């Protein structure tokens, strides 16, 4: 395609690298989003999407382009420079160059199409209403009402799920990221003072908290609407991996006393990063709900065909009524510790990571002995 035809095309056109970096864009693309061509070519395509669009890009769009080589009429919400949403239909094609792979993207506006679809929907609704009026039997009418009720329930569940995602992003991530920005701005203006040292501590804690929440959110998305959480298992020294994880968590949770015990010898075949994520989520849960005046104990065990890690904390017993749903997403045992773990995905992610390793997670809790979460892995 000549440069003149590319730039004067009636639709928005762009060429991106495999990582989404925009290599080339036409004038219409820039006009739709309020950016110059130069500004567009310094950004990744996925960074121009809404939060929901970014998640969809990561879990569906990018994998489809890589595996199938093309996508057709994918509906996406993009963000204009001034913040308003621009809905487009995307066609994409994978193309091999001499030394790289690029993606050719064509985007079409949906205003007229949406209007046409609304007219079709109104016409269909009118036809269904007329059909119902002519229905001969009360049984048929009851069946239609039952179907409408089921469709409404499904729509309500989907709406609730979307609201929970928006609430997580807008509320839970806003405060820690704001703290990071404010502290960073302050520290760049002058030499470090005791106050700045205190803000440095806030930065470390807030960034760690934001990182955990973002990781949990992306894993939750992969587990629920993507292709499932993936792991890269490899032989590892389990006790050493847990020891490093506990050392890092001592920095993240300075008010907690973390103790690591080891039992048995040998290696395991697991994903080291995911094992550290499991320990991080369980320790964060113990910090949120346990008694910080007493130590939190992390135990790694190895034996004949057995591999497990356990996290124990003292504190209030988990009520029996809550145990059955403890590993469900968006679930908390109480409001205690909400300033430490506010997303409600940590234990759900622990269970999913245990399952993908061929194992499971169990919890035991009583008033005298405290609470212990035990993750058992398949060790073959």
- pLDDT of 105 above 50: yes
Q: What is the CATH number of the domain that holds 167?
A: 1.10.287
Q: 318 and 256, same structural domain?
A: yes
Q: 16 and 106, same structural domain?
A: yes
Token pair of 330, please? 């968006």
Closest CA to 80 of 60, 109, 117, 50: 50
Give a yes or no: residue 133 inside a domain. Answer: no
Give a yes or no: residue 147 inside a domain. Answer: yes
pTM to 2 decimals?
Answer: 0.49
Q: What residues have CB less than 8 Å from 168, skipping those under 6 apart?
A: 213, 217, 343
Which of residues 202, 225, 248 is at a domain's end?
225
Q: 238 and 165, same structural domain?
A: no
pLDDT at 326: 86
Give a yes or no: residue 347 inside a domain. Answer: yes
Q: Residue 125 — very low, low, confident or very high, per pLDDT cuts 50/70/90? A: confident
Q: 238 and 221, same structural domain?
A: no
- pLDDT of 205 above 70: no
Give a yes or no: residue 68 inside a domain. Answer: yes
- Radius of gyration for the alpha carbons in the chain, expressed in angstroms and rounded: 26
pLDDT at 169: 58
Q: Which residue has the higher pLDDT, 162 or 197?
A: 197
Q: 373 and 259, same structural domain?
A: yes
pLDDT tens column, 127-179: 777 777 777 777 887 888 888 888 888 877 775 575 566 445 544 665 676 67
- pLDDT of 74 above 70: yes
* Per-residue buried b or exposed e for 329-349, using 16+ beta carbons within 10 Å of the residue's own CB: beebbeeebeebbbbbbbbbb
pLDDT at 167: 46
Residues of the domain holding 100: 3-111
Give a yes or no: residue 136 inside a domain. Answer: no
296-303 and 258-263 strand pairing:
parallel
Q: Which residue has the higher pLDDT, 161 or 300?
A: 300
Across 16-42, average pLDDT: 90
pLDDT at 338: 47
Q: 238 and 370, same structural domain?
A: yes
Q: Residue 214 — very low, low, confident or very high, per pLDDT cuts 50/70/90? A: low
Q: 317 and 292, same structural domain?
A: yes
Tell how far CA 134 is from the center of its chain.
Answer: 48
Closest CA to 219 of 273, 262, 266, 171: 273
Q: 220 and 240, same structural domain?
A: no
Which stretches within the chain are classed as H helix?
A: 3-7, 27-33, 37-40, 51-56, 62-68, 111-133, 138-167, 174-187, 194-225, 238-252, 272-289, 320-323, 346-356
Q: 356 and 270, same structural domain?
A: yes
pLDDT at 259: 95
- pLDDT of 335 above 60: no
Q: What is the CATH number of the domain that holds 319?
A: 3.30.565.10
- Residue linked to tokens 């006790």: 239
247 to 257, 341, 349: CA distances (angstroms): 11, 20, 22
Token pair of 10, please? 């009636």
Average pLDDT, the chain: 82
Q: 157 and 184, same structural domain?
A: yes
Give a yes or no: residue 316 inside a domain. Answer: yes
Give a yes or no: residue 127 inside a domain. Answer: no
Q: Which residue has the higher pLDDT, 203 or 233?
A: 233
Share of the chain above pLDDT 70, in %: 79
Q: What is the CATH number of the domain that holds 57?
A: 3.30.450.20
Q: How many domains does the chain have?
A: 3
Give a yes or no: residue 187 inside a domain. Answer: yes
pLDDT at 51: 92
- Residue linked to tokens 């697991």: 270
- Residue linked to tokens 């309500």: 156
- Compute the Cα dihedral for 66, 67, 69, 72 and give only its sign: negative
Token pair of 72, please? 């057709």
CB atoms within 10 A of CB 68: 10
DSSP, collapsed to helix, strand or coil, labels residue 322 as helix
Q: 349 and 257, same structural domain?
A: yes
- Residue linked to tokens 């404010």: 182
Which of residues 193, 225, 257 is at a domain's end?
225
Which of residues 66, 93, 111 is at a domain's end?
111
Q: 163 and 99, same structural domain?
A: no
């Amino acid at each position: 395609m000549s440069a003149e035809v590319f730039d004067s095309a009636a639709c928005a056109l762009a060429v991106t690298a495999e990582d989404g970096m925009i290599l080339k864009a036409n004038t219409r693309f820039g006009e739709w989003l309020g950016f110059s061509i130069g500004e567009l070519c310094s950004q990744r395509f996925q960074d121009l999407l809404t939060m929901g669009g970014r998640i969809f890009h990561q879990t569906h769009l990018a994998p489809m382009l890589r595996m199938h080589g093309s996508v057709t009429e994918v509906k996406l919400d993009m963000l204009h420079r001034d913040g308003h949403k621009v809905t487009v239909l995307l066609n994409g094609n994978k193309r091999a160059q001499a030394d790289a792979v690029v993606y050719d993207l064509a985007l079409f506006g949906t205003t007229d199409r949406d209007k046409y679809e609304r007219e079709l929907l109104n016409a269909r609704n009118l036809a269904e209403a007329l059909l119902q009026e002519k229905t001969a039997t009360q049984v048929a009418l009851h069946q239609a009402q039952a179907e409408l009720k089921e469709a409404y329930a499904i729509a309500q569940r989907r709406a609730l799920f979307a609201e929970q995602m928006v609430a997580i992003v807008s509320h839970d991530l806003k405060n820690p990221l704001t703290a990071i920005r404010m502290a960073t701005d302050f520290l760049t203006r002058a030499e470090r003072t005791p106050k700045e040292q205190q803000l440095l501590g806030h930065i470390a804690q807030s960034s760690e908290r934001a990182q955990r929440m973002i990781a949990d959110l992306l894993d939750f998305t992969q587990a629920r609407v993507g292709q499932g959480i993936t792991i890269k298992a490899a032989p590892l020294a389990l006790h050493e991996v847990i020891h490093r994880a506990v050392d890092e968590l001592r920095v993240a949770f300075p008010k907690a006393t973390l103790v690591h015990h080891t039992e048995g010898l040998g290696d395991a075949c697991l994903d080291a990063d995911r094992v550290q994520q499991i320990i991080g989520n369980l320790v964060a849960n113990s910090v949120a709900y346990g008694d910080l005046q007493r130590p939190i104990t992390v135990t790694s065990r190895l034996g004949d065909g057995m591999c497990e890690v356990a996290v124990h904390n003292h504190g209030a017993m988990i009520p029996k009524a809550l145990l059955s749903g403890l590993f469900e997403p968006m679930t908390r045992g109480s409001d205690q510790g909400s300033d430490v773990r506010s997303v409600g995905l940590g234990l759900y992610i622990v269970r999913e990571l245990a399952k993908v390793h061929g194992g499971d997670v169990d919890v035991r809790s009583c008033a005298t002995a405290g609470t212990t979460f035990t993750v058992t892995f398949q060790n073959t």
